[in-house]
Amino acid sequence: MGKPTGFMDYERQDKVAETPKERLKHFREFHTPLTMEEQEIQGARCMACGVPFCQSGEMIMGMASGCPLHNLVPEWNDLIYNGNWEEAYYRLKKTNNFPEFTSRVCPALCEAACTCGLHEDPVSTKANEYGIIENAYENGYAKACPPAVRTGKKVAVIGSGPSGLAAADQLNKRGHSVTVFEREDKVGGLLRYGIPNMKLEKQIIDRKVAIMEEEGVEFRTGCDVGKDVKAAVVLKEFDKVILCCGASNPRDISVPGRDAKGIYFAVDFLKSTTKSLWANNMVLKDGDYISAKGKKVMVIGGGDTGNDCVGTSMRHGAKSVIQLEMMPKAPDQRMETNPWPEWPRVCKTDYGQEEAAAVFGHDPRVYTTTVKEFIKDKNGNVCKAVLVKLESEKDEKTGRMMMVPIAGSEYTVEVDLVLIAAGFLGSQEYVTRAFKVEVDGRTNVKTALGEHATTVENVFAAGDVHRGQSLVVWAIREGRVVAEQVDLSLMGYTNLSVQ
């Protein structure tokens, strides 16, 4: 694979980002792709290692190592090195329904497990994936390919996030008639309204959805199953139903003053910006969105969604931004207790944090800290927050280490916009009750281990509603696996390939 000495001959190159202050002027994607010639050189760095951990997707110490989709990374790196971009696209599509999404929003589990990364820089696999799929669209390889034969079987997919889209894509290619129900006005789920435009421009979703429609998938938007449409009606109309509704219950915080005005869940804040941009030709319109302009913003939560809130607030023109993280700062370099090919537990400074640092002169993150109380002004608006420092302490009952408040460490900061990005708790009750499926203690839809069939006949589940909040790449994997199991239950055999 690649050039035997490529990893020694060539330095890693990746897509180049605009400077933080420049990209704050817009809501578009802000990386400049490599040229085809540059990416062919990057393909040469893939070193034909004996065990390609990049495509393993194994769980090591509770974390994924390598791609959960088992992308054939060394094969398509070799193909682009040799200039065979069309075949690289077909190789990529064997395992990944949506490289146009993963090449933009995936944290690149493949690169973290790359053998080159043990001592040097890993292969720029994510940039190569981006080059393959965009070249395929440019040259017509990614065109619609409707199935030649239909089976006469009908499948309903509830939810159009990455798991629902993957399941629909696979089952439609098999020849089943697939209808996707989406409660929002547009297709995409959290791809559309949970991921900001600067990470995934929404015409990229529309481009793929148009191809799926041409291939025969039907999308019904603005249709909330369990409310607008009864579950019984769907079960009667379709042979099988797949719940891909996501883990859309945001985790709240319960402290005095939580009812103050100016406190929002992150997903509502991000959605309002996306909707305003698309309604007004990529220009925010006052009154159409939750604005951080001129505000002292506090983001509660240190994950990807928290960072997206920081980046979005910066583009609004926030007066100041702080981001609270309950856990201590991760080390800047791998510890000996976190060896390759484990996922590196190191401090990552993402785009939003870079932008805040460029404008305000410091990283917005405040570690081992949480909110103890919100203080309102005379009109009921949040105006201050009482924060408290945390320390790790062993819980005597469970034996687990917990972050607990440090007595006397409280201090007060001024805030007038609070965004809660503390994750999601699981499925929404009205959906699971409508289909009468059982849920586990975390409100995820219950199935047997390794299976996607629920406790209700003909009803399956996949994605975050099944596994809990996770990555886009895991959702696609779940969609592919559930499609295989649904196809088997419909036909008695399956020729759908998961990997």
Q: Kind and range of the H or E element at 340?
A: none
Asked whether residue 329 falls in the same domain as residue 220, the answer is no
Q: What is the pLDDT of residues 324-359, one digit of tens each?
A: 999 999 999 999 999 999 999 999 999 999 999 999
Write down the pLDDT at residue 4: 84
441: Cβ–Cβ under 8 A, 6 or more apart, which residues?
none
Asked whether residue 327 falls in the same domain as residue 348, the answer is yes
Asked whether residue 315 falls in the same domain as residue 229, the answer is no
Q: What is the mean pLDDT of residues 109-119?
A: 92
Distance of CA 152 to the CA centre of its chain: 33
Asked whether residue 416 falls in the same domain as residue 448, the answer is no
78, 107, 139 — which closes off a domain?
A: 139
149 belongs to a structural domain: no
pLDDT-derived band at 394, boundaries 50, 70, 90: confident
In terms of DSSP bridges, do strands 382-394 and 417-420 run parallel, antiparallel, or are they unpaired?
unpaired
Write down the pLDDT at residue 395: 84
Alpha helices in 106-215 (DSSP H): 109-112, 125-139, 162-174, 190-193, 202-215
Q: Among candidates 361, 358, 384, 357, which has minimal Cα distance to 373? A: 384
More confident position, 497 or 62: 62
Write down the pLDDT at residue 494: 95
57 belongs to a structural domain: yes
Asked whether residue 387 falls in the same domain as residue 285, the answer is yes
334 belongs to a structural domain: yes
pLDDT at 286 over 70: yes
* C-alpha span between 450 and 443 (Å, rounded): 18
In terms of DSSP bridges, do strands 263-265 and 177-182 run parallel, antiparallel, or are they unpaired?
unpaired
Write down the pLDDT at residue 10: 94
56 belongs to a structural domain: yes
pLDDT at 250 over 80: yes
Return the structure tokens found at 47. Answer: 């070193």
pLDDT-derived band at 404, boundaries 50, 70, 90: very high
Counting residues of the chain whose pLDDT is more than 90, the rounded percentage is 88
Q: What is the mean pLDDT of residues 153-172?
A: 98
Which of the residue ranges 56-70, 349-363, 389-403 has the most confident prediction, judged by mean pLDDT?
A: 349-363
Alpha helices in 216-328 (DSSP H): 231-237, 266-279, 304-316
In terms of DSSP bridges, do strands 417-420 and 296-300 run parallel, antiparallel, or are they unpaired?
parallel
* Domain count along the chain: 3
pLDDT-derived band at 499, boundaries 50, 70, 90: low
Q: By residue range, what is the domain housing residue 126?
A: 6-139
145 belongs to a structural domain: no
Average pLDDT, the chain: 95
479 belongs to a structural domain: yes
Asked whether residue 19 falls in the same domain as residue 123, the answer is yes
* C-alpha span between 205 and 473 (Å, rounded): 15
Asked whether residue 270 falls in the same domain as residue 375, the answer is yes
Write down the pLDDT at residue 115: 93
91, 114, 139 — which closes off a domain?
A: 139
Q: What is the CATH number of the domain that holds 374?
A: 3.50.50.60
pLDDT-derived band at 233, boundaries 50, 70, 90: very high
Q: Give the SS3 label for residue 298.
A: strand
Sign of CA dihedral 355, 356, 357, 359: positive
35: Cβ–Cβ under 8 A, 6 or more apart, which residues?
none
Q: What is the mean pLDDT of residues 377-403?
A: 93
Q: Give the SS3 label for residue 126.
A: helix
List phi, psi (to 5°) of 278.
Answer: -80, -20
List phi, psi (to 5°) of 353.
Answer: -65, -35
pLDDT at 471 over 70: yes
* C-alpha span between 204 and 228 (Å, rounded): 28
413 belongs to a structural domain: yes
Burial 139-154 (b: 16+ CB within 10 A, else e): eebbeeeeeeeebebe
Write down the pLDDT at residue 141: 95
pLDDT at 37 over 90: yes
Q: What is the CATH number of the domain that holds 97?
A: 1.10.1060.10
Q: Among candidates 130, 273, 122, which has minimal Cα distance to 196? A: 273
* C-alpha span between 292 and 309 (Å, rounded): 10
Write down the pLDDT at residue 411: 98
Asked whether residue 416 falls in the same domain as residue 267, the answer is yes
Asked whether residue 200 falls in the same domain as residue 269, the answer is no
Sign of CA dihedral 170, 105, 48, 346: negative
139, 173, 195 — which closes off a domain?
A: 139
Asked whether residue 132 falls in the same domain as residue 198, the answer is no
Write down the pLDDT at residue 373: 98
pLDDT-derived band at 287, boundaries 50, 70, 90: confident
253 belongs to a structural domain: no
Asked whether residue 320 falls in the same domain as residue 448, the answer is no
Q: What is the mean pLDDT of residues 50-60?
A: 90
Looking at residue 183, what DSSP letter applies?
S
Q: What is the pLDDT of residues 192-206, one digit of tens each?
A: 999 999 999 999 999
Write down the pLDDT at residue 167: 98
Burial 357-387 (b: 16+ CB within 10 A, else e): eebeeebbbbbbbbbbebebeeeeebbbbbb
Q: What is the mean pLDDT of residues 424-445?
A: 92
Is the preceding omega at residue 341 within 30 degrees of 0, hence cis? yes
Q: What is the mean pLDDT of residues 452-478?
A: 96
Q: What is the mean pLDDT of residues 71-82?
A: 95
Asked whether residue 15 falls in the same domain as residue 114, the answer is yes
